[in-house]
Amino acid sequence: MNGFFINIFRCRIKSWVISKDKPGNINSILNIFNRLSKYTTTAKSSSSITPVGNSLDSESVGLCNQVFDIISHSKNWDKNPSLLKLVPSITPLHVCNVLNNLNLDARTALGFFNWIESKKHRYKHDVKSYSCLLVLLIRAGLFSDAKSVRDLMIKSCGSAEEMLFVSDEVRRMKKYSEKKRFTLSLRCYNHLLMGLAKFNLIDEMEAVFIDMLIDKISPNNYTFNTMINVYCKVGKVMEARLYLSKMLRAGVTPETFTYTSLILGYCRNKDLGNARMMFKQIPEKGGRRSEAVYDTLIHGLGKYGHIDEAFELFRQMPDDGCHPTVHTYTILIDALCRLGRRSEAFNLFREMGEKGCHPNHHTYTTLIDCLCKEKKLEDAHKLFNEMSEKGLVIGVPTYNALIDGYCKEGKMDNAFTLWSLMESNGCNPETRTCNELINGLCKEKQVHKAMALFSKMRERCMSPSSITYNSLIQGQCRAGYFDNAFRLLMLMSEDDSEPDQWTYSMLIDTLFKEGKVEKGYAFFRSVKDKGTKANEAIFTALIDGHCKAGKIDIASSLLEEMITENCLPNSHTYNALINGLCKEKQIHKAAMLVEEMIEKGLEPTIFTHTNLIDELLKNGHSDEEALIIFERMLSSGIQPDVCTYTVFIHTYCIQGKLRKAEDMMVKMINKGVLPDVVTYNVLINGYGNLGSIDGAFVVLKRMFSARCRPSVATYSALLKHFINDTRVKERSNKDGGLVLAAASSSSMDISNVWKILDTETTLRFLKKMVEHGCTPNIDTYDSLIAGFCQGGRLEEAKNLAFYMNEIGLLPNEDIYTSLVGCCCKLGMYTEASTLLDNMVSCGHLPPLESYKVVVCGLYDEGNVEEAEEVFSRLLRGDYHKDEVAWTILVDGLHKKGHADRCSKLLDIMEEKGRQPNNQTYSMLVEGLPDGVII
């Protein structure tokens, strides 16, 4: 691969010779080319030493040699000061490579192996270290010690890959040990089978079972139960029953565990009839119905909606001498939560406490997860604190549930506080934890922070999944960094993470949203040419893109192509086409498509009905017609969402029917649907347009009370009406008469608010907010400063920032970002640079886009030294190194005509240890001016 990239650079250099471009640009290419060649050579030389496991750098090889010399030549090596100093640096990979030296004394090796684990906190040997030690012990004939180490190695496996490695090693060592003195006992075979069963490695278990028979070791009850249980866990009951037959033929009597496994298998297959029958037959077969039997069937019944029957079994337990355990209660609580019966779940939670059955961490996690899904985060956190107070060990699943809840609600500060707590309590985050945080950051358009977390994942050797990449790609798309989204697609291959259909659907959707219809369609064709089958998500993205571009005929033909390829359209597909038809005023065709949906067995969704309602109201149809569709929604069991209600409220506000709008607002709240910022904005504008500025402020107060954060648009609308109201009153006082406020409510367009608003009027507006019970908070100042900055009003924005500082409110990250952007818009790059420094000193991570504009602006001014200093300072942050290069170098300097500056900034990156990968080097050359590109 590295040779491929070098060839690209050679081609670029050759093209320069032909084009006779500027010397500055060819020097830039040559510098990058030489750097990549050096990087490639270094990479090759570092892999020339290949000890056991991963390759070691020269420093690590030196450490291994030091350890080996000390323990092999010193009698009291465990007291050696030099070895004690090395302990913090020793990893399982170092131990593995020390033990790989066959000249090491076996007993010394065993002593060192046990010593390092006891000496280093939280140290854990890996399976390859065990394997190297076993080789030494077997060669030395220390079979008793070897068997103990072998058992520990089996128990140490933490993944399917490790378990497969161990299984191969154990069987290989048995085969080649001298005089068959390292044979596997029945106990060892059973341990091996149990380890493999933990990861559902059924094929390997079959091979081990056959080895047992070849070795003439008779399987016992434990062996057969392990085989039966693993097949039942994956729902393969027929195979499990074959082992039951073997068990009976071998004269081994099935136990309660055997029948419990079979009930589990039937439940996994949704075959509740046979599960019930097996449950009834247990006493007839001489078995006993234990708590585990009851729990297994109760879980199956609860999972598939038979909750009442599950409770009947629960009440029947005492008849068989069984008592509900914490596991029984947790199963039922989980089933109730999944059915949305939260109050019943909490009643059962209280009941178990009253009956002396104490909830465990699984019980709490189930309830916390339920509360988070219902957006009751405060209640969820109270339960979390209760767990801690009771001394329960809080594990990764509990943290994940609460972190996910905060991320879904955009409360990223709370989520990261939990992350810090998790780490300080010695609970290591998983890939899933990072994925939840990355997804949350991307939804909040903080993709630079998501990419920084992505870097931390890599540093901690956590493998990013396709979910990680899909979240980042979607995040880059949401933030408008479309090129970065496609660059991430290229990075996926480095992590052996293949793009899936969802990845492609997001990128296709992005191309269409950017207006690149032809490129989007071409990308779709290239994906199909690679052999990737287009799924409903890809086709829906295509259809939606063409609809948004007004190409309804092509969208309709794509629907036909989709059906021809046996890819069934879903509700989202039809909704995209219905939305397109509605926008083209083809209501009749849209209605016909709804009928087609129903004929194909697809239920129209909230979105389908809301689209039709919206278009009917926009096109002057009576609200009675729209209400007919609304009532049809309700009668078909579809509950309208906030968008549906807002469409009606918006129409009533435009018509000046505030009473009807308020009635609809009451109706939605009574149905448990909470208004969002758009709903409130519509209502504020409605009151303002009627000249009721007090009514508009009352709505703002309701927003505050509902904890719905007002946006810049909210304050823009309010300020527009506030200014108009002030003007009307001033004119009225001047003329000595009354002027209707409503008559002048539209005298100023909303887009002019931030152009004419001054500091004095802003302070009066803030005072008016207080009078209406809306105490301005950090979000208020954030929105107001953002408005001023959008209008290029830097002085007013700074005055407001100074004022908020005076009253004890510190600017947040968004306020700093707005101020930096405004400075750059006005060409004040040095002041913007100072603001970035202030931002960092306050613990914020500025967006890379801000740095890009500042660095490019300083270069435009000829202020090279300061530009390089700003770039150096940004490298102290946690940014993803490739994203730094993409944003600053490729999208910044290259596109602004400063390609000759890239080499110097690359030098700075390397000095700071932030070297981009070779694909990014390639992008840098691809991004050079047209004269240099082939």
The whole-number pLDDT of residue 732 equals 65
The whole-number pLDDT of residue 797 equals 95
Percentage of the chain beyond pLDDT 70 is: 90
The whole-number pLDDT of residue 24 equals 53
**DSSP letters along 689-711, please?**
HTT-HHHHHHHHHHHHHTTPPP-
Neighbours of 616 (CB within 10 A): 22
Least confident of 409-423, 454-468, 817-831: 454-468
Least confident of 33-42, 336-345, 392-401, 832-841: 33-42
- DSSP state letter for 514: T
Q: What is the three-class DSSP state of 831?
A: helix
Q: What is the three-class DSSP state of 481?
A: coil
Nearest to 453 by CA among 841, 878, 913: 878
Helix (H) or strand (E) holding 88: none
Residue 338, pLDDT > 70, answer yes
**DSSP letters along 127-191, please?**
HHHHHHHHHHHHHTT-HHHHHHHHHHHHHH--SHHHHHHHHHHHHHHHHHSGGGTTPPPHHHHHH
Nearest to 442 by CA among 428, 454, 459: 454
Distance CA 907, CA 645 (A): 57
Distance CA 744, CA 739 (A): 9
Distance CA 39, CA 909 (A): 14
Q: What is the three-class DSSP state of 63?
A: helix
Residue 748, pLDDT > 70, answer no
Distance CA 687, CA 694 (A): 8
Neighbours of 176 (CB within 10 A): 9
Answer for the pair 57, 63: CB distance below 8 angstroms, yes or no: no
**DSSP letters along 855-877, please?**
HHHHHHTT-HHHHHHHHHHHTTS
Nearest to 110 by CA among 144, 63, 159, 82: 144
**Residue matched to tokens 């609200």:** 623
663: its two tokens: 């009635």
Helix (H) or strand (E) holding 778: helix 778-790
Distance CA 360, CA 335 (A): 17
190: its two tokens: 């059973």
Distance CA 588, CA 582 (A): 9
Distance CA 3, CA 1 (A): 5
Detail the DSSP E strand segments found in 55-99.
Answer: none
211: its two tokens: 């080895």
Distance CA 385, CA 371 (A): 14
Nearest to 428 by CA among 419, 436, 437: 419
Q: Grade residue 747 by pLDDT with cuts at 50, 70 and 90.
A: low
Q: What is the three-class DSSP state of 393?
A: coil
Distance CA 484, CA 493 (A): 15
The whole-number pLDDT of residue 365 equals 96
The whole-number pLDDT of residue 442 equals 95
Which comes out higher in pLDDT, residue 94 or 744? 94
Answer for the pair 15, 934: CB distance below 8 angstroms, yes or no: yes
Percentage of the chain beyond pLDDT 90 is: 56
Core vs surface per residue 147-168: b (16+ CB within 10 A) or e: bebbeebbebbeeeebbbbbbe
Residue 122: exposure state from Cβ atoms within 10 A (0-12, 13-18, ≥19) = exposed
- Tell me the H-state helices in 374-430: 377-389, 396-408, 412-424
Q: Grade residue 21 by pLDDT with cuts at 50, 70 and 90.
A: very low
What are the Cα distances from residue 497, in Å, to 146, 421, 467, 487, 491? 38, 30, 10, 14, 9
**Residue matched to tokens 């009574």:** 670
What are the Cα distances from residue 326, in Å, to 349, 351, 369, 379, 850? 10, 11, 18, 22, 53
**CA-based torsion, 663, 667, 669, 675: positive or negative:** negative
C-alpha of 649 from chain center: 35
Answer for the pair 394, 375: CB distance below 8 angstroms, yes or no: no
Note the pLDDT tens digit of each residue in 97-122.
899 888 899 999 999 999 998 888 77
Nearest to 358 by CA among 327, 398, 402: 327
Distance CA 414, CA 162 (A): 36
Nearest to 374 by CA among 337, 333, 324: 337
Across the chain, mean pLDDT equals 87
- DSSP state letter for 52: S
Q: Grade residue 176 by pLDDT with cuts at 50, 70 and 90.
A: low
Q: What is the three-class DSSP state of 906?
A: helix
Note the pLDDT tens digit of each residue in 209-238.
999 999 899 999 999 999 999 999 999 999
Helix (H) or strand (E) holding 570: none
Name, in order, each residue with C-beta under 8 angstroms of 513's C-beta and a sequence gap of 6 or more: 477, 545, 548
533: left (phi over 0), alpha (psi -120 to 50) or beta: beta
Distance CA 63, CA 46 (A): 16
The whole-number pLDDT of residue 412 equals 94
Least confident of 161-165, 169-173, 432-436: 169-173
Q: What is the three-class DSSP state of 448?
A: helix
What are the Cα distances from residue 810, in Å, to 410, 704, 813? 21, 20, 10
Question: CA Rg, the chain, in Å?
Answer: 34
The Cβ-side half-sphere exposure at 831, using a 13 Å CA radius, reads 14
pTM for this predicted structure: 0.78
Q: Grade residue 29 by pLDDT with cuts at 50, 70 and 90.
A: low
Residue 773, pLDDT > 90, answer yes
**DSSP letters along 600-665, please?**
TTPPP-HHHHHHHHHHHHHTT--HHHHHHHHHHHHHTTPPP-HHHHHHHHHHHHHTT-HHHHHHHH
Distance CA 57, CA 128 (A): 18
Which comes out higher in pLDDT, residue 634 or 865? 865
Which comes out higher in pLDDT, residue 402 or 727? 402
Note the pLDDT tens digit of each residue in 256-280.
999 999 999 999 999 999 999 999 9
Helix (H) or strand (E) holding 541: helix 536-548
Q: Grade residue 8 by pLDDT with cuts at 50, 70 and 90.
A: very low
C-alpha of 208 from chain center: 39
Answer for the pair 70, 39: CB distance below 8 angstroms, yes or no: no
**Residue matched to tokens 């302070």:** 763
Q: Grade residue 926 by pLDDT with cuts at 50, 70 and 90.
A: low
Distance CA 131, CA 99 (A): 9
Distance CA 645, CA 119 (A): 65
Residue 915: exposure state from Cβ atoms within 10 A (0-12, 13-18, ≥19) = middle
- DSSP state letter for 252: P
Nearest to 189 by CA among 162, 163, 170, 164: 170
